[in-house]
Structure 1
């Protein structure tokens, strides 16, 4: 039996609602999975007053989670005052507590995987939480120094070399050591997590026109191309590609993963192409 823990996300946003809708769909399929939904009880009660749950559930505390025999267990957090549509200090703290508890479930092997609802970085900051995002939280808690944010879909898979940093700082984070670590994580993900046998990775350039042979920037020639030559002895790895032409020509269809240098470079086309069908 697969066991999943699902966080509520920011309670002032769409998180709790989409979790209940997702659980309705998942449990309708009559799979054998077990679901733990971490959420303040007052928020869960409000949602199910408006949206009928089509699943059996039991409301319980975190320390009694393993005692619950229902398909869906609602793991309660302290009640949180709701202010729909607005980030608040309390909503930021609640979303952080849900994430902390979800990791504790993983560590104790109560659950095997975490599914996170959307959080508000503004609310997290208001609560004094200094992580730039959820990916960085799990990296810190698990002691993983090498990690990559990836987005998967049937249409294409993309990865980010840098995550939540200002655009003006991206070039400072681009060096051979860190880029090599990113590529190694992608290779491991393709081999171990996605069971891909024929690896094909595309790397996008940092600068317009992928640097135009050094005329617009030297990062491609000095950092990216030497690594492509190194890895091309073992796998198919191509680039650096100008991002605009790469997506316009639909070259992404030829590769298992597209590695972008910064957030919007790959997430704009990923979300446009998939129209909501994809997973982070």
Structure 2
């Protein structure tokens, strides 16, 4: 491990400025505990931050405007303008200009991450509708970052204090899910999960539960063949290697009877199967962590929430957890060591 003079720099991409992204970011960064641990740099525009400082009466929120991470102030909250002209801030309204700024923030953070100028990336919520265009197809942060860093594979990993849920298939239509459930893909995701639990969370011998695809986990082939033909052989391959991988479990009973508390990680087959129980159990502190990338990326587990934007009622708990999570993983991976 290397000792560094300053705190780790965590880049926060602002997401959609017309949603709650700026509010939860600013409120989270007002936490004194965070300010002692990290140096934040917000990829946004100073005018947008100033707007919300006034709108939300966050008088204690002070920031330093910098042109690049090279000018970072380690005792300040730093803001980099990612567009020349700040779009008009209209809380609760979807605009194309806000979408352009959201993607510009991600692209600038990617550039700085590739140059090793920031140690982690926390992405505030954005709206895919105002980002997608004929020039750009944006399915989600996970896919965009995986492609940008030419990572072999990645996995959406929803994490909280006592619940960690990974997905085999992510942002795909439900009708397309079965085609993505292959033995190879399940094994690839299990490998990412095991490595992440070991490297990012310090769990030497993780215990993992795999959920079934069909109701009642297929009921021995009566309600679908995927469990018998695909999922069980994938689990067996890991058990043969001495890994603690179990299942497939019917997801309703698994969560309903709180069996998740016995496992370090849970592999769900598709988006809603994993995210509905996760958000029910851990919404205010849940974090979306992308496992398998060559750097640390987290985000809160909620969306833009246009309906409450600018009203000073958004809960910053998930964003705060996302920043703490990024810091904890940096420390666990051995990328950083605090000075005594």
Q: Name the TM-score, length of structure 2 as normaliser.
A: 0.78
What are the within-5 Å matches in structure 2 for residues 92-131 of structure 1?
Answer: 92-126=99-133, 128-131=135-138
- Contact 1:33–1:71 (8 Å) recurs in 2: no
Secondary structure at the aligned position of 1:31 is classed as helix
- Contact 1:205–1:220 (8 Å) recurs in 2: yes
What are the within-5 Å matches in structure 2 for residues 201-220 of structure 1?
Answer: 201-220=208-227
Instruction: Report the equivalent of 1:279.
Output: 287
Task: Tell me the distance in 2 between the aligned counterparts of 1:92 and 1:29.
Answer: 28
Instruction: Report the equivalent of 2:166.
Output: 159
Instruction: Report the equivalent of 2:20.
Output: 14
Compute the displacement of 1:127 (Å): 7.7
Instruction: Report the equivalent of 2:229.
Output: 222
Q: Which runs of 5+ in 1 are unaligned?
A: none
Judged with a 3 Å threshold, the aligned counterparts in structure 2 of structure 1 residues 28 and 176 are, in CA distance, closer, same or farther, namely closer
Q: Which has the higher contact order (CA 8 A, sep 6+)?
A: 2
CA deviation vs aligned residue, 1:219-264 (integer Å, no higher than 9, x gap): 1111100111111131211111111011111110010111101111
The number of equivalent residue pairs is 277
CA deviation vs aligned residue, 1:115-144 (integer Å, no higher than 9, x gap): 110011111125853120001111011111
> Does 1:2 find its partner at 2:8?
yes
* Larger CA deviation: 141-150 vs 80-89: 80-89
- Contact 1:89–1:127 (8 Å) recurs in 2: no
What are the within-5 Å matches in structure 2 for residues 162-241 of structure 1?
Answer: 162-233=169-240, 234-241=242-249
RMSD: 1.5
CA deviation vs aligned residue, 1:140-164 (integer Å, no higher than 9, x gap): 1111121100011013100011110
- Contact 2:113–2:119 (8 Å) recurs in 1: yes
Q: Name the TM-score, length of structure 1 as normaliser.
A: 0.94
Task: Tell me the distance in 1 between the aligned counterparts of 2:256 and 2:43.
Answer: 41
- Contact 2:184–2:234 (8 Å) recurs in 1: no
Instruction: Report the equivalent of 1:57.
Output: 63
* Larger CA deviation: 84-93 vs 170-179: 84-93
Instruction: Report the equivalent of 2:93.
Output: 86
Judged with a 3 Å threshold, the aligned counterparts in structure 2 of structure 1 residues 127 and 9 are, in CA distance, closer, same or farther, namely farther
Instruction: Report the equivalent of 1:68.
Output: 72
Judged with a 3 Å threshold, the aligned counterparts in structure 2 of structure 1 residues 266 and 32 are, in CA distance, closer, same or farther, namely closer
Runs (4+) off by over 6 Å: none
Instruction: Report the equivalent of 2:309.
Output: none
- Contact 1:92–1:127 (8 Å) recurs in 2: no
Q: Which runs of 5+ in 2 are unaligned?
A: 1-6, 289-340
Instruction: Report the equivalent of 1:134.
Output: 141
- Contact 1:161–1:262 (8 Å) recurs in 2: yes
Judged with a 3 Å threshold, the aligned counterparts in structure 2 of structure 1 residues 53 and 36 are, in CA distance, closer, same or farther, namely farther
- Contact 1:153–1:278 (8 Å) recurs in 2: yes
Compute the displacement of 1:82 (Å): 2.5
